[in-house]
Amino acid sequence: MKYRRLGNTGLKVSEIGLGSWLTYGTAAEQKAAEACVAAAFECGINFFDTANAYNRGEGEKALGAALSSYNRSDYVLSTKVFFPMGDGVNDRGLSRKHIMEQCEASLRRLGTDYIDVYFCHRFDTETPVEETLRALDDLTSQGKILYAAVSEWSAAQIANAGGISRRLNLRPLASNQPIYNMFERYIEQEVLEVSRQEGLGQVVFSPLAQGILTGKYKPGQQPPAGTRGADDSVNGVIRSYLRDDVLDVVAQLNGLAGSLGLKLSQLALAWVLRQPNVSSALIGATKPEQVAENAKAVDAVLSPSTLEAIEEILRPVADFAPAR
């Protein structure tokens, strides 16, 4: 495994991290979570990500339980706050009240004394940014979180937060967690550069486009039984990718990966990691073998000619816009 600094901080995270969105959180999935966490440690992965909103806290409980037998100093743990966690008017957002209450709740569910990286899961248009940043700074002073971060914030929102933090002498944000893969590339326009200027490292989610960039889905065919694409309860996000033009491109990328001696997933992860501002790419896995296979992506070096070939293959879907 290889490691990168999280933005301008001294914290080092594995280039591949293990996420828990849509994967862990039920009794039937607990053994899978434990097996995947064990495989992650064997591969040298030290970064584990979850969120309070994943199955209304069950994702945090599952990951916390899976990590409970490991030394707390041996891993970096992140979770998030923003989405509704109850029916009350204050059970959501980035107000001081919600942040403070949900941090305590996340600590209990995770079974830990502190959170390494605490992400604001989205931007809150109804709460002053100063209020949010002061709450995060106070949690850091209390030792309940070590680094504050954001997720899916725009370049302007990141820059504004940086300016407020400097004016108020608050600790700067450490990271942004956006979606980033071969099809969804909006961060290349402004977010990467502004983040670099403000000292934030990217922790990207869905680098494999919800499994599309594994090659398991074929153009003109129904999603294979047992896959996320075939499960109506969770395929709302992946459905945007299940288009023949996208899947035709995936088939070509798969052929390119094979010619390089790589799995398509490894090619896709190496492509994401080509960006120096990307600190870590989060994978989702239900089997230990998936973790081990994806972890090998850190050893793949993509030549300029390979990167050019990828861009040429992607050209037909350069205007891809997910229907969400």
pLDDT tens digits along 28-77: 588 999 999 999 999 999 999 999 999 999 999 999 999 999 999 999 99
The 10 Å Cβ neighbour count of residue 16 is 27
Q: pLDDT-based confidence at 273, cuts 50/70/90? A: very high
Residue spans of alpha helices (H) in 25-95:
30-43, 58-67
pLDDT tens digits along 238-265: 888 889 999 999 999 999 999 999 999 9
Three-state SS string across 176-202, please?
ECCECCCCCCHHHCCHHHHHHHHCCEE
Per DSSP, the three-state class of 281 is strand
54 labelled catalytic: yes
Beta-carbon contacts of 77 under 8 Å, excluding residues fewer than 6 positions away, are 48, 49, 50, 63, 67, 110, 112, 115, 116, 117
Q: pLDDT-based confidence at 145, cuts 50/70/90? A: very high
Q: From the candidates 24, 54, 75, 241, give the one annotated as an active-site residue.
A: 54
pLDDT tens digits along 198-248: 999 999 999 999 999 999 988 877 777 767 666 656 656 788 888 999 999
Question: Does the pLDDT of residue 323 top 70, yes or no?
Answer: no
Q: Mean of the pLDDT values across residues 93-103?
A: 98
Q: In the beta sheet, which residues pair with residue 77?
A: 48
Q: What whole-number percentage of the chain has pLDDT above 70?
A: 95
| Nearest partner of 154 among 90, 105, 198, judged by Cα | 198
In terms of CATH architecture, what is 3-209+272-288?
Alpha-Beta Barrel (3.20)
Q: Is the pTM of this model over 0.85?
A: yes
E-strand ranges in the chain read 3-5, 12-14, 16-18, 47-49, 76-81, 115-120, 145-150, 175-176, 201-204, 278-283
Q: How would you label 84-114 residue by residue, b for 16+ Cβ within 10 Å and e otherwise?
A: ebeeeeeebbbbeebbbbbbeebbebbebeb
